[in-house]
Amino acid sequence: MTLSTDHQAAAAPKSMFILPNVLEKMPDGSTRAFDVYSRLAQDRIIMLTGEVNPESCTNVVAQFMFLENAKSTRKDSSSDIHFFIASPGGHVDDGMGIYDAMQFVKSRGIRVHTYAQGLAMSMGSVLLVAGSKGCRNAMANARIMLHEPSGGASGKTREVTRTAQEMAHMKTRFAMLFAAHTNLSFKETTAIMNDPDYFIRAEDALKDGIVDNILYPTLDREIAAKRNPNMSEEELDALEQEMAIVADFNKQANLMHQALRAPQPVEDWAPLNERAANTNKKPRKKAAAAQP
């Protein structure tokens, strides 16, 4: 998370990414082209990909405001909004603009489902926990990272002092925010933010109340059969087994990361023990001082 007062300088450079289009048949028989994000918005899906900056803030907030008052086109007529986050973080003011839009939509009785996809770091993790309780999700291989806001200041002494005070205030504010949305206490969150970067995997995030669900891959046989009616029962069985293996791998990998994060005594680490045994030599005795 970065504090910035110069939004023009803070804006990310434009990429060469080509926005894909999808074609959809309309009720009157005509065909209409949509960019893929506009089509997803019709199904009440919002995606934040990349840095949190003025441009992404404007796009995401506009979609939240539109969907708050738009009639659902989903088959289940649900008014819930699904917010996918794949972001390394970004600027505090822009992130808090998205956060406030989410809380406004929630205040109108609309559930906001959040999904950590790939990575939800820094301000991305703030937006992840800001979803509706019970609706915050982490993909099996998602990485989540918390840290304190960062920034810089130059100028007169009093100007630098005020900027430092604002940064300390924002650190306290974010610790309070995480304490309000998760199982972490204000003291625990403050301690986490004193570390440079605090990385969390899905299992840890679930335990800490940062997310409510981990989305491990499982086969929905009914949907798979409808999407591909030519798939035989043997193929469905094989696919189901493959999904079970992938889910088990993801669970084991997350638990391994959880074990690595826990403080362990040096003697518990076999490689260090082995290295110590190979280099265990008696210290050389000091030569006796020559007698006069």
Tokens 């929905």 locate to 220
d(CA 35, CA 290): 89
Specify whether the CB–CB gap between 97 and 57 falls below 8 A.
Answer: yes
Alpha-carbon gap, residue 206 to 209, rounded angstroms: 5
Long-range contacts of 253-261 (CB under 8 A, 24+ apart): 253/141, 253/201, 254/140, 254/201, 254/202, 254/203, 254/204, 254/214, 255/203, 257/201, 257/203, 257/204, 258/201, 258/203, 258/204, 261/204
Cβ 174 vs Cβ 148: under 8 Å: yes
State the CB neighbour count (10 A cutoff) for residue 128: 26
Q: Which of 97, 91, 87 is nearest to 47 (CA)?
A: 87
CA distance 89 to 120: 7
Rounded to whole angstroms, the Cα distance separating 78 from 32 reads: 24
Q: Which residue in 147, 154, 181, 232 is the catalytic one?
A: 147
Catalytic residue among 79, 122, 132, 181: 122
Q: CA-CA distance, 270 to 272, in Å (whole number)? A: 5
Is residue 147 annotated as a catalytic residue, yes or no? yes
Taking alpha carbons only, the member of 152, 172, 148, 175 closest to residue 163 is: 152
The residues annotated with a catalytic role in the active site are 122, 147
